[in-house]
Amino acid sequence: SRMEFKGVSDPATIGIGGVDLGSQAGIGWAGTGTLNIVNGGALVMNATHISTGLRDGAFFIGRDPGSVGTTTLSGTGSLLDVPGSIRIALGPGDAPGGTGALTVSSGGLVTATDIRVGAGGILNGAGGTIDGSVVNLGGIGAPGLSPGTLTILGDYTQQAGQLVLEIGEDGVADL
């Protein structure tokens, strides 16, 4: 299946450039799925915890073993806003998941408490921003697109997996 959200400048707008979701959502939950958020589109999770009243929720990309999820944000103002964790190639509690990819580029913004990347996952992009911490638990972190910069407004922790950087002889590098 495929979901695509486009911003208000596009005639294929869903709502006013976005969609609100509940406490758990995912792409490639138990099968194969693709989500493209482009041209200022937004996907916002607005659930609140029943006890605390605070925003709460998780977004899964490639959640279950054997599943495949791909999420791409591209274009200024494009937003994926998750009040809790984004889990790439991971299930609940960091259980092994399927295969997942999150690409944030060209002015796209992802906000989350943290993004956790499992063994079958990749986090990449150039010119995009992640507002939250990133924990690589065995996947691939690959900022830049030969070369380029992926901005992380939080901590980056490499527990396992790979961090792939390119450094050119002229000093141009992925950061």
Q: What is the pLDDT of residues 102-156, one digit of tens each?
A: 999 999 999 999 999 999 999 999 999 999 999 999 999 999 876 788 999 999 9
Per-residue confidence (pLDDT) for residue 52, from 0 to 100: 66
Q: Are 73 and 128 in contact (CB under 8 A)?
A: yes
Q: Are 137 and 159 in contact (CB under 8 A)?
A: yes
* Cα–Cα dist 161/141, whole Å: 8
Q: Are 97 and 68 in contact (CB under 8 A)?
A: no
Indicate the SS3 state at residue 94. Answer: helix
Place of tokens 């194969």: 32
Per-residue confidence (pLDDT) for residue 49, from 0 to 100: 62
Structure letter (DSSP) for residue 93? G
Residues 136, 55, 123, CA angle at the centre, nearest 5°?
20
Q: What is the pLDDT of residues 19-49, one digit of tens each?
A: 445 577 888 888 888 889 998 888 888 766 6
Tell me which of 8-17, 19-28, 154-163 is least confident: 8-17
Phi-psi region of 12 (alpha: psi -120 to 50; beta: other; left: phi over 0): alpha
